[in-house]
Amino acid sequence: MSLRMSSLDPDEPRAMKDCRTCNRRRIKCDRSLETCRKCALKGLPCPGYGLRIRWGQGVASRGKLSGKALPILEPAPASYHIDAKPAISTTSSSVRLNATSLAQDSVTSRPSLDFQENDLQSTPTASEPHVVNDGLRNAFHPVHDRNTIHNKFGVNLDLRSYRLPDYLQPSVVRDLIHYYDHVVAAVMPWVDGPDNAWRTIMLPLAMESESLLLAILALSAEHYSSKIGSTWSAEGGPLSVRYRDQSVQLLAQNLRRELTEDQTAAHQGPACAMLATILVLCNLEMIRCDSAVWHVHWKAARTITRRWTSSHYPRPMLDSGFKFLIKEAFVYDVFGSSTTFDNEDQIPSSVLTDEDPQLFSQWLQLVQEVTIVERRRHANMPVDQYLMHSADMKLLQRRFKEATNSSLLINRDLKFGSQGLQSDIVTLLRIYQEAGLLYSYQALLGPNESALARSGCVESIVNSVRLIQNLNVFQHDLVWPLFLVGTESRNKPSRQKFAESGLLEAMRSTAFSNCRPALEFLRRFWTMDEPVVADWIQFGRQESERGLNFLVI
């Protein structure tokens, strides 16, 4: 049944413009919030109406900008009634950048963000006077209490020691930073601890970068809303949307400026902050379960990471902050590439330096290698002779064993507080060893050739998950292994239930909803007959052609 705007409640808030999916399909969008109902009815990913960065190729035919990939800010229509003013002043349409506009952008002042202390309201446009709204002074949900939410690893930054813009000094900002420090940061790394860089590096860096700070505030507000079930809002809508749009707008300006200036300085603080902002925005969209927007930020992370680690530019002495961010970009790329099939260039594993080995580094490199071989084979592209040997089952087993042993050596020097946690980390490493093997068998070997080995991997993963003593601490690490168990669960109801309940629990405990598209994918896959769809990778390619991509991380 067709969904027409005339049949909808006229008092319901509407976006000013159609969503991008409806535009692409050349149909009239119903413009409902937060996402289009027509997309939902068709089972299509809806990117919504918010600000996004996309990457344009060939902005100039000659000169130093020739062929460069640069960010383009796609403006958001107003998020509420059609006659409402936009929360952020943007250009009226999406404009492909050229050399002239880039030169102008590099000297254009950033958008006005004229907030007064203890006030939260929509960012005024250039012609709009600042209006104080007393009803927004206590926008934070009343159940929050900084004294009751405590993580022993929190860094507890004293914001009074930093010079922040006036509009980022009310108590709601301090509460958001505290919530990020004590709650959100705990589920970002493999294992939380005193050296969790999502705290120790990201928070001080955010105090120097307005776009990164805004992204962290948006992430914190969205996570709180997802966890508590209560929207953190102010006039004009959710604070997470407000902060996200402001962050994206500043990020686009910074990227355009950075990519047109002297490349020898590209590795310094501003570049570090930009990559950090993109990674935080990736995580924000994972909470919101918006794979369409996450994919845009992922491409941005790929682009700038490849650019700033390219051999074409001078390689500086990377500080610990930049090394951490590059590794995180690589982590997202490895997992994102395993479930998407667009064959774009991945971030090379060479970005991980041997001088700074970390948990799972060797494992990640090996999984990326498997993905590259599978994609090249499917596209009938030549595969490096060394990579061809990856299809040897015994060699795969040996290499994943070596990756696990490498992580076990690193784990000896890590301190997480209790013997039980150390034991769980060892179990987690074993789980990933089996999950990596299972994925490799699925990607590189025939179904009949690898059936017995795959079955053994699944049983090992299931049994090991049940051995973890502190499941709440490691729940977010089990998503990829649980997904792979699900891919081997066709016609096995008990195993389906195990994978399904594990993914649901991961979403409940972490408040990240990115597992939902993966779970929906598995449910569709379980209904497919084996003669029609041989395996989940074949089914994933078919789904990807329909625009149904998903992330498992």
One-letter amino acid at 452 equals L
If you write DSSP's letter for every residue of 257-282 in order, what string do you get? Answer: HHTTS-GGGTTSHHHHHHHHHHHHHH
The rounded distance, in Å, linking the Cα atoms of 437 and 393 is 9
The phi-psi region of residue 491 (left if phi > 0; otherwise alpha if psi is between -120 and 50; otherwise beta) is left
Q: Which two tokens stand for residue 117?
A: 């202390």
What pLDDT, on the 0 to 100 scale, is given for residue 93? 27
What pLDDT, on the 0 to 100 scale, is given for residue 277? 94
Q: Which residues neighbour 293 within 8 Å (Cβ) at sequence distance 6 or greater?
A: 47, 48, 50, 52, 285
The rounded distance, in Å, linking the Cα atoms of 190 and 173 is 27
The rounded distance, in Å, linking the Cα atoms of 362 and 341 is 23
User: 255 near 304, Cβ under 8 Å?
Assistant: yes
Relative orientation angle of helices 269-288 and 210-228, to the nearest 10 degrees: 20
Residue at token pair 């420090």: 181
Closest CA to 418 of 193, 208, 210: 193
CATH number of 1-51: 4.10.240
Q: Where are the domains of the chain?
A: 1-51, 143-339, 355-468, 475-552
What pLDDT, on the 0 to 100 scale, is given for residue 466? 95
pTM for the complete prediction? 0.75
Output the tens digit of pLDDT for each of the chain's 553 residues: 344 444 455 556 677 678 877 877 778 888 887 678 888 887 777 777 665 555 555 444 444 445 555 555 555 443 322 233 333 333 322 222 222 222 233 323 333 222 232 322 233 333 333 322 332 233 444 445 666 778 889 999 888 888 888 888 888 898 899 999 999 999 999 888 888 999 999 999 999 999 999 999 999 999 988 888 777 776 667 888 889 999 999 988 887 776 666 544 444 567 788 889 999 998 898 887 765 677 777 888 888 788 777 655 544 445 678 888 988 999 989 998 999 887 667 888 878 766 666 788 899 999 999 999 899 888 888 877 555 555 678 888 999 999 999 888 887 777 666 677 888 999 999 999 999 999 999 999 888 888 999 999 999 999 999 999 988 889 889 999 999 999 999 999 999 999 999 999 999 988 888 888 899 999 999 999 888 888 999 999 999 888 888 888 8
Report how far apart, in Å, the C-alpha atoms of 32 and of each of 47, 232, 251, 440 are: 12, 20, 27, 42
Q: Which two tokens stand for residue 80?
A: 């509420």
One-letter amino acid at 193 equals G
User: 231 near 225, Cβ under 8 Å?
Assistant: yes
